[in-house]
Chains A and B, each alone.
Chain A
Amino acid sequence: MRYRQATQLLFELSHPGCRGVQLPACDVPERPLAEILPPGSTASAPPPLPELTEPELVRHFVNLSTQNMSVDTHFYPLGSCTMKYNPKRNERLAGLPGLADLHPYQPEGTLQGLLEILHAVQEMLAEIAGLPGVSLQPAAGAHGELTALLVAAAYFRDLGQNRTTVIIPDAAHGTNPASAAMAGFTAVEVKTCAKGLVDVKDLAGKLDARTAVFMITNPNTLGLFDGQIARIAGMVHDAGGLVYLDGANMNAILGIARPGDFGADMMHFNPHKTFSGPHGGGGPGAGPVAVGAALAPYLPAPIVVQEQGGFRLDYDRPKSIGRVRGFFGNTGVLVRTYCYLRTLGPEGLRRVAENAVLNANYLLSRLKHFLPAPYGDRCTHEFVVSASRLKADRGVTAMDLAKRLLDYGFHAPTVYFPLIVREALMIEPTETESKATLDAFARALFRITEEPADMLHEAPHTLRISRPDEVQAARKAVLRWKEG
């Protein structure tokens, strides 16, 4: 529906005396508050929240929702985010009371079905990774990175080795260096060569006795599988370091290559990307990590183990780094992962990767004629094209193209990333899009490149708002509504 209600804030819609929820009267004998609570501990008035009725709330949030582009409403080729379709069966199953209405401290005897699911997810992820030890505890990809780096730190501490650096390619996601810093390491950058792969010479010069971990995203953020990986892993291992695989791009190699087989010692998965967990407007995700046998004792506890008579949570892991979050993990996301993996099976998973790669290569073949791909015309699950020629010729930027795509009913690709490509547009179509959608996207993007520059600078033209003033937003930050 094109015409919507105005977009007032909840606080502007508030009317004193309204409420959305009515609670029952207290059915136990009440004691005076002054008798139970110490003086000065209570607030004189309830928190100043807005007051709305249920119909007002529903209309407000439903109208807000229509101002989003989403996978269910639009093609969403946001590179590196794997915006594939989220099967509805998984939503329904994850919401079953027998899975969603479980307290984290319930006795294990009342959780056997859930523990069986979580155990199976551990086993399946170990198989996909080619690495035997799995922890499901981390809450997101970056959290998995931090977890694995802390595992590495504990491992080297045990070996009596003082290793302080983490080497990271310049094309990596920002979370890699940020995780390294949080884990107490110094991040060292390694260059990307002209072919878009790790510059092995540069790497060789940076590996030394201080190297703890080399982090690599493979396929990388340019959408290229780095075929040097076995050699690189050998170099890192020779220097006494560990290889970490950032699993953000696992969609390209599911069932085709296993990180453990090409030299990785540790990795994380992004179930909200690879295994179709919805992205939730920013989350929740999950960030399970898989590690080699020597590192497994250091994983966070608990881990689900199978014993005679059933499944239980194993807390007795003396070398464990401890916990990285409370309770077990983002269980609801992991249940969706289980549903996805069981739906597809080994053959189906491989077909996911094949079709993701096929879709990306098809789209690249349609775009490269008018938007150059600086790192070649073959890719894995995603690719990066550059608008730098358009910018030089007509002043049209990657941002202009992205904004104009919104007018055509397509979510924009990731722009200006990776940082090593000028005017980058990073495009990941995923396997769940049809050829017709890819063709329509390619046609739209071509038409846009022919449109007048002035018009493109002002895009989008058909959405409720035009481009926001982001400089003003940061300079004079307004981070909450205030009365008056």
Chain B
Amino acid sequence: MGELELTAHVGDLAGRNLPAGQAACFLGGGAYDHFIPAVVDFVAARSEFYTAYTPYQPEASQGTLQAIFEYQTLITQLTGMDVSNASLYDGASAAAEAVHMAMHATRRPGRVVAAASVHPEYRQVLATYLANLQTELVTLPTPQGTIDPDGLAGAVNDQTACVLVQHPNFFGCLEEVQALGEIAHRAGALLVVSVDPISLGLLKRPGDYGADIVVAEGQPLGIPMSFGGPYLGILACREQLVRRMPGRLVGQTGDRRGKRCWVLTLQTREQHIRREKATSNVCTNQGLLALRAAVYLAAMGPHGMRSVAKLCLQKAHYAMDRLTAQGGWKPAFDRPVFKEFVLRAADGQVDRRLERAREQGVFAGVPLGRWYPELADCLLVAVTEKRTKAQIDRLAETLK
């Protein structure tokens, strides 16, 4: 097929999808319709970045290396952690890698605790990664929408490598992370937290409440939704854990004339040197997406990040108030939320309403029955800074 035919053909196939930009998108659950500044697309389209590969020859790759070093720094600033790696595949596999890392760091390969309020797909990935190892994966129920600290205290013991929590969690609710960290640490386990990077414009940083390893889906940081990928797995940790980290790390050094420069470093952790004793098998990562996140964070700056977070928070609360005020929907959980929330349909009818909303050009939310049978009458609604008051009002109308 020549270029002209291909362009027509793929254009036709693309035309058979309904892009979020042509609807009002209230879908979340780990991927979000946030605004992407043009400067992000512009930098990522520089072919000196996107047609290069892993910077094995540092003299010919200072552009990529410095950009990754800047990314690593930006992630530590965002999370309050000491060190970030150069990226992993996505939020889910990053969580599995973090647990793997915790099992080795604590020398407790036997037991891992994950809350039911962690993204169900993340927990599925973790279960898959652990399936052929002798590790017990304990799922802590969260019937009230968040982890009960007493329940956690009963679930961790001196065999537990780590506790995996998500904050804000899959239901959009804030967990009592400080208390959860103290419980984990008392048992000698690590606290692994999966965060929404946008929330860190406003919420306390994981490094400031005692997290040991932080993971995140980096998609909200300037990455198109692209039906689930390519995304960005963020992983950051405390200094003491750095030699257990998976993936690439860029470090600063000097050249023979003493000029400041950057190289891939601590490579004795990695598969191409250490083979079966490596900390992970990861090789190709998500470098171009890390570049996008770096440009996004630098473009937003501290005040932009705070603005985005506040807009999401206020609009989500307006939407929740609006939807619950008209009857028909009730909050499923009585917990503080950030930009997402779960509503329960009074008459149990979720699918019919979703269908009606879609006919009117609204992606109203993600039904939860697939993962949580007890929440089959519930809807997860996400509201980003892109949603206008008019769209939220329309959502309320269509979901009546």
Contacts and interface: CB of A to CB of B under 8 A. Distances in A.
A83 interface: yes
Interface string A22-50: 01001111110100111011110111111
A58 B83 contact: no
Given A103-B33, A284-B289, A26 B303 contact: no
B110 interface: no
Interface SS of chain A: loop
B128 interface: yes
Interface stretch (A67-75, A233-241, A382-390): A67-75
The 7 closest A-B pairs by CB, nearest first: A327-B228, A98-B14, A282-B287, A113-B16, A280-B288, A284-B230, A184-B132
Contact of B251 (A141, A326, A477): A477
Interface residues of B, number: 174
B278 A181 contact: yes
A183 B165 CA distance: 24
A460 interface: yes
A9 interface: yes
Given A10-B294, A142-B281, 6 more contacts: A9-B70, A21-B300, A52-B301, A101-B224, A142-B282, A325-B89
A200 interface: no
Contacts of B290: 282
Contacts of B313: 33, 36-37
Given A174-B274, A281-B288, A110 B301 contact: no
A136 B140 CA distance: 31
Given A29-B318, A153-B132, A323-B124, A477 B63 contact: no
A325 B92 contact: yes
A453 interface: no
Contacts of B59: 403, 406, 460, 463-468
B106 interface: no
A103 B225 contact: yes
Contacts of B201: 46-47
Nearest to A459: B59
Contacts of A335: 10
B328 interface: no
Nearest to A315: B370
B302 A468 contact: no
B167 to A, nearest CB: 9
Contacts of B248: 282
Contact of A106 (B20, B42, B297, B388): B20
Interface SS of chain B: helix
B275 A177 contact: yes
B270 to A, nearest CB: 7
A48 B1 contact: no
B230 A21 contact: no
Interface string A295-320: 00000100000000000000100000
A182 B54 CA distance: 22
B315 A38 contact: no
B204 A42 contact: yes
Interface in A439-484: 458, 460, 463-470, 472-474, 477-481
A266 B276 CA distance: 20
A285 to B, nearest CB: 4
B122 A104 contact: no
A67 to B, nearest CB: 4
B56 A326 contact: no
Given A141-B284, A326-B122, A20 B39 contact: yes
Interface string B301-314: 11111111011011
B231 to A, nearest CB: 8
Given A106-B18, A142-B282, A178-B281, A28 B315 contact: yes
Contacts of B52: 68-71, 76, 279-281
Contact of B13 (A61, A114, A180): A114
Given A105-B27, A330-B229, A417-B272, A469 B287 contact: no
A343 interface: yes
Nearest to A23: B307
Interface stretch (B43-51, B147-155, B156-164, B184-192): B43-51
A330 B230 contact: yes
Contacts of B263: 468, 470, 473
28 contacts: A10-B73, A28-B314, A28-B315, A40-B178, A46-B306, A50-B74, A51-B303, A64-B63, A65-B48, A68-B64, A99-B10, A104-B228, A106-B363, A111-B18, A140-B282, A141-B283, A150-B132, A178-B276, A184-B132, A278-B51, A279-B52, A282-B286, A323-B92, A329-B229, A342-B10, A460-B60, A467-B59, A479-B250
